[in-house]
């Protein structure tokens, strides 16, 4: 079978805003270095409403926000304060520890807005897990784009189709948004490593086997081909698997449970840095 496993998105209510959580999943904790994957929305917010994710900590990972629609304000303990728009990349490397908040920007909150996007975490390799925290923002026009017959793709991370993302990550990774016209085909090379295809909308198949909407299809080993039978939007994700299993507890990722326990205690004791301009926080 060309699809080795299918992971359905499971609805999670984040307080008036729902996401479809794909990773982690029992029996399949990761695809390549990806250990967390949520589809946010689509959702419509009335004037005066929006997203308010209060400051919270991370270790051992990098987070990626990718928007199809809407806007999201980011603040972190390094002093970064900016708004991400569709097509741009916010790549936050937690390393030994970072704190951030995510809120609907004032203009969108006042007017009401439509929100839709993907949030993902990738685990850092062991030798980079305690690196200095960092934040990188790449505008939409900095991201490489692949076009072919009926295919328009953006390389978010890694190297695909002879293109390399400006995002730097210390482990082999592939991550892209792909829009396909009806009848379009796209090769999924075996050298990409583990490969997952998430169908945001449309109708698609991998070597003739249907990809379920709102689900992550993990391909079998070997070359594969993605086909769209209707206009479709998909996310491709994966890369080389990490040699060590990762533990996830709340917002912390590590190969060592003791390191996570220490991070929990550090957050409880107020030893993480603060986010300038924020007075709230999410308790453990």
How many Å is the Cα radius of gyration of the chain?
18
- SS3 for 107? helix
Q: What is the pLDDT of residue 11?
A: 83
Per-residue pLDDT band at 79 (split at 50, 70, 90): very high
Average the pLDDT over 188-198 and give the result: 96
Q: What angle do CA 230, 153, 117 make, to 5 degrees?
A: 80
Average the pLDDT over 243-263 and give the result: 96
Reported as a single tens digit per residue, the pLDDT across 87-146 is 999 999 999 999 999 999 999 999 999 999 999 999 999 999 999 999 999 999 999 999
User: What residues does 174 pair with on adjacent strands?
Assistant: 158, 238
Give which of 222, 227, 215, 159 is closest to 195, Cα–Cα: 222
- SS3 for 265? helix
Query: Mean pLDDT across the chain, nearest whole number?
Result: 95
Q: What is the pLDDT of residue 15?
A: 59
Residue 13 has pLDDT above 80, yes or no: no
The ranges assigned to domains in the chain are 3-239
Average the pLDDT over 8-28 and give the result: 82
Contacts of residue 143, defined as CB under 8 A and 6 or more positions apart, other chains included, come to 87, 88, 89, 154, 155, 156, 165, 166
Residue 38 has pLDDT above 80, yes or no: yes
Residue 244 has pLDDT above 80, yes or no: yes
Per-residue pLDDT band at 14 (split at 50, 70, 90): low
Residue 17 has pLDDT above 80, yes or no: no
Give which of 143, 59, 124, 70 is closest to 102, Cα–Cα: 70
Q: Which residue has the tokens 């097509």?
A: 87
Q: What's the pTM?
A: 0.95
Q: Residue 2 half-sphere exposure, CB side, CA atoms within 13 Å?
A: 17
| CATH superfamily ID and name for 3-239 | Jelly Rolls (2.60.120.10)
DSSP per-residue codes, 125-159: PGGGTTSPPEEEEE-GGGS-EEEETTEEEEEEEEE
Which of 2-6, 16-20, 62-66, 266-270 comes out lowest in average pLDDT?
Answer: 16-20
Residue 216 has pLDDT above 80, yes or no: yes
- SS3 for 261? helix
């Amino acid at each position: 079978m060309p699809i080795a496993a299918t992971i359905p998105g499971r609805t999670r209510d984040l307080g008036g805003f729902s996401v479809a959580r794909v990773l982690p999943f029992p029996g399949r904790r990761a695809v390549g270095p990806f250990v967390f994957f949520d589809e946010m929305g689509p959702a419509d917010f009335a004037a005066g409403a929006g997203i308010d994710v209060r400051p919270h900590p991370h270790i051992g990972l990098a987070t990626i926000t990718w928007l199809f629609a809407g806007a999201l304000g980011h603040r972190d303990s390094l002093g970064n304060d900016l708004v991400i728009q569709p097509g741009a990349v916010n790549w936050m490397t937690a390393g030994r520890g970072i704190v951030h908040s995510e809120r609907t920007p004032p203009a969108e909150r006042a007017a009401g807005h439509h929100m839709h996007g993907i949030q993902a975490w990738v685990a850092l390799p062991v030798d980079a897990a305690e690196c200095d925290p960092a934040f990188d923002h790449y505008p939409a026009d900095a991201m490489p784009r692949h076009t072919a017959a009926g295919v328009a793709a953006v390389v978010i991370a890694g190297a695909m189709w002879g293109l390399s993302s400006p995002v730097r990550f210390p482990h082999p990774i592939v991550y892209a948004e792909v829009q396909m016209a009806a009848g379009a085909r796209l090769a999924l090379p075996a050298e990409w490593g583990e490969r997952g295809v998430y169908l945001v909308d449309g109708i698609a198949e991998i070597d003739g086997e249907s990809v379920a909407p709102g689900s992550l299809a993990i391909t079998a080993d070997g070359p594969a081909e993605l086909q769209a039978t209707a206009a479709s939007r998909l996310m491709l994700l994966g890369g080389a698997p990490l040699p060590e299993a990762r533990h996830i507890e709340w917002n912390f990722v590590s190969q060592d449970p003791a390191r996570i326990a220490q991070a929990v205690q550090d957050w409880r004791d107020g030893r993480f840095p603060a986010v300038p301009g924020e007075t709230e926080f999410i308790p453990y």
